[in-house]
Structure 1
Amino acid sequence: MAGRNLPPSTTALRVFLAVARLGSTAKAAGEVHLTQSAVSKQIQALEDHLGTELFERSPAGLKPTEAGTIYRPYAEAAIEQMERGARRLAERAAIGRPIRLHMIAIAGERWLMERFPEFAQAHPEIDVQFTNFVSENEIEEADLEIVHGFGPWQDRESHYLFGRRVALVAAPAALERLGGFARAADIQKMTLLQHFQMPTFWAEFTEAHGLRGAVPAHTVRYGYYSVIIRAAVAGLGVALAPRCYVAEELASGALVNPLGLDFDSATGCWLTVNSQSERSPALDTLVAWLCEEARRFEAAG
């Protein structure tokens, strides 16, 4: 009946295995960080528990008995399983902390949200929170940020995502109403729909098309690219937008790219990693997935 019960302790199992391998209580004591007397007591307790002797004692040392030889692989398996369980829990603890992801709205609307269910299904153990705003009095610093700007940044890990290729877009009816678009300089008679955080697009466009110093007839500034796109579709003006953000409208014909006018901007959408965040397998998995999905998104756009 004794053999159906659990051993006195995992320490007893570790001591038994050390003695079986080393053939000496003195040597085993050094390995398991116990006194020789404590090692002998652990062996005795295990033998009492099992109701049989596990070692033959002689001047040459200790040698496993037939019972000890039978018991040894089971003790090894038990210790191995407990170590695996401990490692799994440690990995779970590292993965389990929520990852805080902050991003510009258009990246979520036009790219991430429709793709994220695939990631969530593949990695249900990774908890991603999509804002760093907690309350009016508390703001958590994000682990990852998707930002638009002049990357990379020397003080943080940075990965380019997409958005450098920028196109001139407008609704067909708006261009027709203004007499068409025959040359790049015609943009000067248009109303420009501009994102207030991306004012460099106009200078980059005019430089790329030999219009340095040119100004649009009127400029209307917006805070969100999704609003700019809707305004352009509604015929309120022309916009300079990353091609990947307006791919759907260009494909449907809601917007056109007159004369194929575009340019490569010095700015783009980047993923940055907070250097103060605890690095974990979950964070690395998410970063790798975001970068791969961004590569596909830009290629499709």
Structure 2
Amino acid sequence: MAGSRLPPSTTALRVFLAVAEHGSTARAATAVNLTQSAVSKQIQTLEEHLATALFERGPSGLKLTEAGLIYRPYADAAIEQMERGARRLAERAALGRPIRLHMLAIVGERWLMERFPAFAQAHPEIDVQFTNFVSENETEEPDIDIVHGTGPWPEREAHYLFGKQVALVAAPSLLERMGGFARAADIQKMTLLQHFQMPAFWAEFTETHGLRGAVPAHTVRYGYYSVIIRAAVAGLGVALTPRCFVAEELASGALVNPLGLGFESGAGCWLTLSVATEHRPGFDALVTWLREEAELFEAMRG
């Protein structure tokens, strides 16, 4: 039986609904972006398939026959269901693409990794991929980039996270070996452990404490804050580091903050994302969570 078979095509259903709505093959053709002859052909094919007339011509144009009136809600429902299915598939595909999060290694080590399991448990459907290195040949830009600096970042939306409060830290054994630390100027007799990307910390420290032009006895540069912190604990020199990254060492006594010396830097850790980033499912939830966790982190450890 003809009625037991599927319709010739979804195009035929769309054309049928367009003609039913507009009462004209010409206006329907414009609505579905087909020629008028193609619209007429689609209607003819559908009527042959159903073995019944769906339209009759009246004074004001084409109008549905009784059979057409019966068929219309079913055609409408079929198109709606297919569109809903397509949307579900698109959402599934979007969820299948991981959110790429690039960050400084110290941010992952001292902040994010110990907190992220709570987010992953609450949002198992959101796939987040982490990296702290992007090569020059990398073709896919990270969706979220946590960077250190002062900004602005052209073409990027930026949100401050933490890290502007910087402390001078050293191992107690080093201070004892060097004869103590009685005043800010004593830093000049020390070896400075410096992050190679953050040389401005020295200038900010000396400016804050009235030591403009001062230089340390020696400077050793490192590429990772985790190495600087370990070197400071080992007594290899003093370091200027965001206080939030050495909170554990200060609490345990492995490092001390002589005379409470430090400063508020113009630079800090920022969450940045391209203004053109597609906010696919889960993206906004992750950004909101990162910002909320950063606020708590700085309040507790800053």
State the TM-score, normalizing by the size of structure 1. Answer: 0.80
Q: Deviations over 1:12-33 (max 9, x none)?
A: 1111111222223333233223
Paired residue for 1:266? 266
Paired residue for 1:140? 139
Q: Are residues 1:130 and 2:131 paired?
A: yes
What secondary structure, in the 3-state scheme, does the structure 2 residue paired with 1:152 have? coil
- Percent identity over paired residues: 74
Greater shift, 66-75 or 266-275, is seen at 266-275
What secondary structure, in the 3-state scheme, does the structure 2 residue paired with 1:44 have? helix
- The amino acid of 1:111's aligned partner reads W
- The amino acid of 2:23's aligned partner reads G
What secondary structure, in the 3-state scheme, does the structure 2 residue paired with 1:295 have? helix
Paired residue for 1:281? 279
- Aligned length in residues: 297
Q: Are residues 1:48 and 2:48 paired?
A: yes
Distance in 2 between residues matched to 1:187 and 1:33, nearest whole Å: 76
Contact 1:101 1:132 in 2 (8 A): no
Q: 1:166: how far off? A: 0.3
Distance in 1 between residues matched to 2:44 and 2:182, nearest whole Å: 97
- The amino acid of 1:86's aligned partner reads A
Paired residue for 2:77? 77
Contact 2:104 2:132 in 1 (8 A): no
- The amino acid of 1:269's aligned partner reads C
Matching of residues 96-115 of structure 1 within 5 Å: 97=97, 100-115=100-115
Q: 1:80 to 1:71 in 2, by over 3 A?
A: same
Q: Deviations over 1:164-214 (max 9, x none)?
A: 110112233443444444433333343332222222212211221223333
Cα-Cα RMSD: 3.3
Q: 1:233: how far off? A: 2.1
Q: Deviations over 1:238-273 (max 9, x none)?
A: 221101211222233332323322201122223444
What secondary structure, in the 3-state scheme, does the structure 2 residue paired with 1:281 have? coil
Paired residue for 2:5? 5
Distance in 2 between residues matched to 1:60 and 1:12, nearest whole Å: 23
Distance in 1 between residues matched to 2:156 and 2:27, nearest whole Å: 50
Contact 2:95 2:125 in 1 (8 A): no
Q: 1:95: how far off? A: 6.1
Distance in 1 between residues matched to 2:272 and 2:261, nearest whole Å: 30
What secondary structure, in the 3-state scheme, does the structure 2 residue paired with 1:166 have? strand
Greater shift, 41-50 or 160-169, is seen at 41-50
